[in-house]
Amino acid sequence: ILSNIYDEYFGFTQKETEALLDEYDRADKMEIMKEWYNGYRFGNAEVYNPWSVLNFLDALRENAGALPMPYWANTSSNDIVKSLVERADISVKGELEHLIDGGAIEKPVHEDITYDSIYGSDDNLWNFLFFTGYLKLVDRRLQAETEYILMAIPNIEVKHIFKGTIRNWFTEEIEKKDLGKFFTAIERGNVRYMEEELSACLQETISFYDYAENYYHGFLTGLLKTQNKYRVISNQESGLGRPDIIMKSASIRGLAIIMELKVADDFSEMEAGCIQALNQIETRKYSMELEMEGYKDIIKYGICFYKKECMVLKI
């Protein structure tokens, strides 16, 4: 079946995918199949990734509750995506964020690209991502003698590749970064240096969580865990609630640090966000458990983020 379809479309059409799901009595999985593996176009046909469809069908045949997986993503090293991420300047980072957020970008077509010329320019990389299925065609236009294509990420499976590559890249970059002065600033209460360093790190990242609080929580926790002087604890019950982050030294004679995070809707609201965070630390008695353990030296930080900017206040 696969070889016959592949000769015509290089993938499964909507009707063919529906028929396969019906055959295995899994028609209720059509929407998941579409979100994860659809989105490619060959001529006038919109098709599904055949490798991923067959693998997911095989999993569903064995278990009706099977979850979709990035099957195609696991068949290669995805080095081309990694190269784009590693080379990304501020413009390319913005384009990647836009794509992961569901947007589209326009690039000139270079159909004569060879493997040796992939890394010659960012445009070559974008074109190669398009020709190899990491991006799909949304629209095209001709300007003078140059064809431009509007491209987007085709489905959740491919988005998973981009997100995973970005996570790995950021982890590697953080491990290489010297954060000694940043941790010294935390210990000494140097809020200006803290917010400058956090803002600088955010500028270097490629974000894909729409700047929600859990994005900043993961970002900051990742930074803090690169040191081995303090134990970093997230969302553990203390006092009358769960502080976002607690850092505490192995010895109760050492320092303990409480960090509460907020996200502002506007740059002008960042200071109010910090004050709200500090008030929350106090009213919910987040230092209670630390004090009961015997810690005397406790620093409390209210940290507010707005996009890739950070403000820090302390008490």
243 and 154 in a common domain: no
* Domain annotation covers residue 55: yes
37-51, 93-107, 178-192, 253-267, range with the lowest pLDDT: 37-51
- How many angstroms from the chain centroid is the CA of residue 179? 22
- Per the prediction, the chain carries an average pLDDT of 88
Please choose, from the candidates 279, 296, 186, the residue with its C-alpha nearest in 3D space to the C-alpha of residue 240. Answer: 279
Q: What is the pLDDT of residues 215-259, one digit of tens each?
A: 899 899 989 999 989 999 998 877 678 899 999 999 999 999 999
Query: For the purposes of burial, counting CB atoms within 10 Å of the CB of 5, is it exposed (0-12), middle (13-18) or buried (19 or more)?
Result: middle
117 and 7 in a common domain: no
122 pLDDT band (50/70/90 cuts)?
confident
Q: What is the pLDDT of residues 266-303, one digit of tens each?
A: 999 999 999 999 999 999 999 999 999 999 999 999 99
69 with 49: CB under 8 angstroms? no
DSSP label at residue 66: P
CATH code, domain with 227: 3.40.1350
196 and 136 in a common domain: no
137 and 22 in a common domain: no
* Domain annotation covers residue 9: yes
CB atoms < 10 A from the CB of 22, how many?
11
pLDDT for residue 1: 42
**Helix 213-224, helix 156-176: angle, nearest 10:** 40
Beta strands in the chain (DSSP E): 12-13, 40-42, 45-48, 105-108, 136-143, 146-152, 230-234, 245-249, 255-263, 297-306, 309-314
110 and 35 in a common domain: no
Q: What is the pLDDT of residues 132-151, one digit of tens each?
A: 889 999 999 999 888 999 99
Number of domains making up the chain: 3
Q: Which one of 56, 74, 92 terminates a domain?
A: 74
Q: To which residue do tokens 């200006």 refer?
A: 192
Q: What is the pLDDT of residues 1-53, one digit of tens each?
A: 444 444 344 578 888 888 989 988 899 999 999 999 998 877 677 889 888 99
213 and 243 in a common domain: yes
pLDDT for residue 249: 95
pLDDT: is 183 or 24 the higher one? Answer: 183
* Domain annotation covers residue 98: yes
Share of the chain above pLDDT 90, in %: 55
226 and 150 in a common domain: no
204 and 189 in a common domain: yes
pLDDT above 90 for 312:
yes
217 and 154 in a common domain: no
pLDDT for residue 8: 45
**Helix 50-62, helix 30-37: angle, nearest 10:** 150
81 and 8 in a common domain: no
pLDDT for residue 16: 87
288 and 212 in a common domain: yes
pLDDT for residue 195: 96
Its domain, for residue 126, covers 76-159
* Domain annotation covers residue 147: yes
Report DSSP letters for 95-155, one per residue: HHHHHHTT--EEEE--TT--GGGGGG-HHHHHHHHHHTTSSEEEEEEEETTEEEEEEE--S
User: Exposed e or buried b for every residue in 163-176, given b needs 16+ CB within 10 A?
Assistant: eebbeebbeeebee
Write out the two tokens for 158. Answer: 């491919």
* Domain annotation covers residue 172: no
Q: Which one of 22, 52, 74 terminates a domain?
A: 74
Region of 102 (left: φ > 0; alpha: ψ -120 to 50; beta: rest) is: left
310 and 188 in a common domain: yes
pLDDT above 70 for 115:
no
pLDDT above 80 for 180:
yes
* Domain annotation covers residue 171: no
* Domain annotation covers residue 170: no
* Domain annotation covers residue 151: yes
SS3 assignment, position 132 = coil
Q: Which one of 130, 159, 188 terminates a domain?
A: 159
